[in-house]
Structure 1
Amino acid sequence: MTALIETVIENREMVQPNHANMLDVAHGGNVMKWMDEVGAMSAMRFAGETCVTAHVNRMDFERPIPVGDTAYITAYVYDAGTSSVKVRLVTEREDLRTREREKTTESYFVYVAIDEDNEPTPVPELTVSSEQENQLRQQALAGENGD
Structure 2
Amino acid sequence: MRDYKFCRETFVVKTSIVLPPDTNNYGTLFGGKLMAYIDDVAAISAMKHARNNIVTASTDSVDFLHPIYRGNSVCLEAYVTYTGRTSMEVFVKVIAEDLLSGERHICAMSFLTMVAIDEHGKPTPVPKIVPETEEEKHLYETAKERAEIRKKRKKASEERVKRYGPKLPW
Q: Is the structural similarity TM-score above 0.5?
A: yes
Query: How many Å separate the matches in 1 of 2:129 and 2:45?
Result: 13
Counterpart amino acid of residue 47 in structure 2: M
**Residue 99 of structure 1, CA deviation:** 3.4
Q: Any gaps of 5 or more consecutive residues in structure 2?
A: 150-170
Deviations 1:82-128 (A, max 9, x none): 11110011101112344332100111000010111111111011122
Q: CA RMSD in A?
A: 1.9
Q: Which residue of 1 aligns with 2:138?
A: 138
Q: Any gaps of 5 or more consecutive residues in structure 1?
A: none
Counterpart amino acid of residue 76 in structure 1: Y
Percent identity over paired residues = 32
Q: Which residue of 2 aligns with 1:86?
A: 89
Counterpart amino acid of residue 113 in structure 2: V
What TM-score comes out, normalization by structure 1 length? 0.89
Structure possessing the higher relative contact order (Cα contacts under 8 Å, 6 or more residues apart): 1
Q: Per the alignment, in what secondary structure is the counterpart of residue 40 of structure 2?
A: helix
CA contact (8 A) 1:88 1:140 kept: no
Q: Which residue of 2 aligns with 1:63?
A: 66
**Larger relative strand fraction:** 1
CA contact (8 A) 2:81 2:139 kept: no
Counterpart among 5, 24, 28 of residue 25 in structure 1 = 28
Equivalent positions of 1:109-120 (< 5 A) are: 109-120=112-123
Asked whether 1:48 is paired with 2:66, we answer: no
Query: How many Å separate the matches in 2 of 1:107 and 1:19?
Result: 20
Q: Which residue of 1 aligns with 2:153?
A: none
Count residues in correspondence.
143
Q: Per the alignment, in what secondary structure is the counterpart of residue 60 of structure 1?
A: coil
Query: How many Å separate the matches in 1 of 2:130 and 2:10?
Result: 11
CA contact (8 A) 2:55 2:116 kept: yes
CA contact (8 A) 1:89 1:106 kept: yes
Structure 1 stretches of 4+ moved >2 Å:
95-100, 134-137, 139-146
Deviations 1:14-69 (A, max 9, x none): 11111111101000000000011001010111111111111011111101100011
What TM-score comes out, normalization by structure 2 length? 0.78
**Residue 139 of structure 1, CA deviation:** 4.1
Q: Which has the larger radius of gyration?
A: 2
